[in-house]
């Protein structure tokens, strides 16, 4: 768990929470009881973190995981979740782009004010 914590920058408590909440399932254990994450577990966790970085709620990610566990028959539903999230991301990017433009305008304004004071 410590190694996965370091790789993902998630606390052990968060990893345990993800397990308890059903986002991380079937995590193996060593004979001493320590968790043993596979490459598959790590790749899934990285995808979870990707989705979280876009603001996707844990409940939606859990729904995605449940659909994934049902196999290829749910591919359309999973794709729909991702398409919806993409729309949210694009809208947020546009909002940020507009905010950046406004901030750039103000920075240029203050540059001219500074120059006029010299």
Per-residue pLDDT at 37 exceeds 90 = yes
| Distant-in-sequence, close-in-space partners of 1: CB < 8 Å, separation ≥ 6 | 12, 15, 34, 35, 37
Write out the two tokens for 112: 């001219």
Per-residue pLDDT at 1 exceeds 90 = no
Q: How many structural domains is the chain composed of?
A: 1
Average pLDDT over all residues of the chain? 95
Rounded CA-CA distance 118/100 in Å is: 27
Write out the two tokens for 109: 């304004």
In the predicted model, what is the mean pLDDT of residues 19-30?
A: 91
Question: What pLDDT does 33 receive?
Answer: 86
Per-residue pLDDT at 108 exceeds 90 = yes
In the predicted model, what is the mean pLDDT of residues 17-32?
A: 92
Domain that holds residue 113: 2-117
13-28 in b/e form (b: 16+ CB < 10 A) is eebeebeeeebbeebe
Q: Specify the DSSP element, H or E, that contains 13.
A: helix 12-21
Q: Is the pTM of this model over 0.85?
A: no
Q: Specify the DSSP element, H or E, that contains 36.
A: strand 35-36
How many CB atoms lie under 10 A from the CB of residue 45? 19
Question: What pLDDT does 2 receive?
Answer: 86
What is the per-residue pLDDT across 63-105, written as a single tens digit (0 to 9) for each? 999 999 999 999 999 999 999 999 999 999 999 999 999 999 9
Q: What is the CATH number of the domain that holds 19?
A: 1.10.1660.10
State the sign of the Cα–Cα–Cα–Cα dihedral 52, 38, 6, 11. Answer: positive
Position 40 confidence tier, pLDDT thresholds 50, 70, 90: very high
Contact assessment for residue 85 and residue 56, using Cβ atoms and an 8 Å cutoff? yes
Question: What pLDDT does 82 receive?
Answer: 98
């Amino acid at each position: 768990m410590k190694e996965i914590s370091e790789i993902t920058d998630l606390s052990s408590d968060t990893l345990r929470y993800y397990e308890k909440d059903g986002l991380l399932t079937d995590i193996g254990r060593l004979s001493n009881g320590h968790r043993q994450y596979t490459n598959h577990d790590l790749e899934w966790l990285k995808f979870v973190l990707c989705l979280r970085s876009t603001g996707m709620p844990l409940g939606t990610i859990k729904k995605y995981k449940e659909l994934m566990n049902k196999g290829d028959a749910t591919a359309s539903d999973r794709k729909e979740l991702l398409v919806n999230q993409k729309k949210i991301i694009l809208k947020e990017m546009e909002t940020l782009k507009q905010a950046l433009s406004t901030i750039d305008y103000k920075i240029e304004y203050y540059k001219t004010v500074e120059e006029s004071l010299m």
